[in-house]
Structure 1
């Protein structure tokens, strides 16, 4: 490649594609003589004739056709890529990084609402469990799940999470056929473990003083969306997020396992970005829209849970992690 004259190859491709030196010169914005000189130099470099003249027309030789078939695809791909990049630069883009389950189950269905208010912007959502390294990545903001302890960044709580055991109505009826006691039901239940949740079964059982001699998890998932889906199908009880399955609860596809224990209610979702990013108009606009959407969701979630007879237990996550009893 170091020996290949790329300019001459570009001129050759234009002549072969357009059929004449004059048309190629017009496209390349050079003189016809400059094009001819480059073609002559390329033929000398390769040691073959690339064109032959027939009745004032340039016709590709066998070697010329072989070269043209290769380079025209290459230059076509380059032109397409350049066009796509230029078009992308002409549009304004907002890049958001979000945890996979939250992105699929909560943000994704609401994205069009924001996009319809901002049609001049392209919205890209990168669903990954990895947080953005803002010093080296071109991401506008993160929507993170966690405790909110990220230093050096603007960290704004956007939504509480409500966590409780959830299952399908059919599976709950099956457990009630074993016993009327929720503790005894848990001892016979298939527990679904969401391994990325802040509060998992071992913590929940200990803090609620539920004694299960041998806790087993026939199902473990690293995505809450998978745990919720299995619970909806009657596969077991998931200790998971109302934020991610409010629709299933409202439709009756999932139900609270029991109202005997309080619902964990704590700030879990955060708007995170470098302070300087808040000066960007689109980031501020998205932040304002997100605050409204999250407030609407929080109100709907609390309305549902209280309507089911659930009691919400608010508390600092660090306190809960200390495995203190969650008595009312």
Structure 2
């Protein structure tokens, strides 16, 4: 059997791009030429590989399986061809992460990954929507949740301490007792796993039925609201490290009760761990995580929690 190399390559490009038109631009051909090559491959294989979805495309079950079987080999062929030509090819890495982790933790550190690996082209997709790895071209995800996703590789990013925080102009550091907080405006992150209703029992406080509060559906919005003096937020040291170290946020409570959770998780199919670009990202992420955890043991950061 003669292997249809060109149609396979065109299919791989379209599946990775998630679009016939984007694949055509990348290959410098017309969209109809891309469609014809994919149809040739489908006829030879005897199965449909792609289906239309609005203006884009999605992989069929057979297409997803075929793509997963050839993806690593096609990348190896591309890298080998580029090496023989005398230059290193650009490798595209697609990361999906929650908006708050993207904005507050990942983005400020991403430059070091790009400097270490100049051949790596990163696409960062900031959303709370979990990835359907069977339908979406995503290499790895940093997902918010409880870590229970059977059938996928799952590793916690880091343990996070959740602290009451506010602007120094709203309340001074260490001047309030836990029982004082219900008298202040409390900022709520609606989707956070750490809520005031959990924190108050840990502090031995029974608040009244009516609170002065403001709610946001993203933690990065709650953090920014606290920085702007809107009230007191209950947020993660992983997400607000820059604001704490700069003094834009302080903990107004003396000896707050400990509340430690893992809420962010590295998630991907196990077969993605064989991809060199995924292993490169994981090595970098773990090193950054370890450095952040070491910084949390410094006397200055420990003092913020008291």
Mark yes or no: TM-score above 0.5. yes
C-alpha offsets along residues 36-62 of structure 1, whole Å, 9 cap, x if unaligned? xxxxxxxxxxxxxxxxxxxxxxxxxxx
Distance 2:129 2:115 in 1: 28
Which residue of 199, 202, 207 corresponds with 2:197?
202
The SS at the match of 2:215 is strand
The CA deviation at 1:201 is: 0.8
1:62-77 matches, within 5 Å, as none
Residue equivalent to 1:126: 125
Residue equivalent to 2:171: 172
1:147-162 matches, within 5 Å, as 147-162=146-161
Which residue of 235, 248, 260 corresponds with 1:253?
248
2:278 counterpart of 1:279: no
Which residue of 293, 296, 302 corresponds with 1:306?
302
Distance 2:217 2:209 in 1: 22
Distance 1:217 1:194 in 2: 14
Q: 1:264 to 1:184 in 2, by over 3 A?
A: closer
Distance 2:238 2:285 in 1: 14
Range with bigger deviation, 100-109 or 207-216: 207-216
1:1-328 matches, within 5 Å, as 84-86=25-27, 91-173=90-172, 182-303=177-298, 304-308=300-304, 310=306
Residue equivalent to 2:6: none
Q: Which runs of at least 4 in structure 1 moved beyond 3 Å after TM superposition?
A: 80-84
Contact kept, 8 Å, 1:161 with 1:269, in 2: the verdict is no
C-alpha offsets along residues 60-82 of structure 1, whole Å, 9 cap, x if unaligned? xxxxxxxxxxxxxxxxxxxx966
Which structure has the larger Rg?
A: 1
The CA deviation at 1:308 is: 3.1
Distance 2:111 2:295 in 1: 20
- Structure 1, unaligned runs of 5 or more: 1-79, 311-328
Distance 1:83 1:135 in 2: 23
The SS at the match of 1:250 is helix
Distance 1:183 1:91 in 2: 53
Q: 1:124 to 1:181 in 2, by over 3 A?
A: closer
Q: Structure 1 length normalisation: TM-score?
A: 0.64
Distance 1:112 1:278 in 2: 23
The SS at the match of 2:143 is strand
Contact kept, 8 Å, 2:203 with 2:257, in 1: the verdict is no
**Aligned Cα root-mean-square deviation (Å):** 2.2
